[in-house]
Structure 1
Amino acid sequence: VAYGLGITGVDPIEYDIIFERFLNPERVSMPDIDVDFCMRGRDQVIRYVAEKYDGEGDDGKRVAQIITFGTLQARAVIR
């Protein structure tokens, strides 16, 4: 899906990436895309993405930094 949307240049057919690895009937939630960067290159990546995808239409902003907070039950915290 990411290749079809132009998010990545990695062709899953060329590299024999199995579709079911990412989307299978046992999964209860929608799939997501995780991207992690080391702290040294983080600012450079943010600048690149903003320069590439922020446009002149609407208010010109198409890139945003977001965060997700998770919660743990007490059992999971004390491992």
Structure 2
Amino acid sequence: MQFIESCVIARRGSRVQSSAFFAAFRAWSRDHSGPEWSNKRLTMEMERRGYERFTSNVVWWVGIELTADAKAFAHGSKR
């Protein structure tokens, strides 16, 4: 998936809140004419690729970092 290749780096000990991850994905998708997936669909794709998540008051994706946040894509600074 292009979003993962462009915007996600594996980093042991890191984590990204699921809602922030989904917001970044949606902004990136709009900016790059990408897929319009639901959060559930994105979660299924991430898990299919072997990424893990855990819940601790909120849901986290573990072992990853975003290279840019949703605001960067929403304002067109990441192309």
Settle same-fold status: TM greater than 0.5: no
The answer to which structure has the higher strand fraction is 2
The answer to which structure has the higher helix fraction is 2
Structure showing greater radius of gyration is 1
Where on the TM-score scale, by shorter chain, does this alignment land: which range? under 0.3
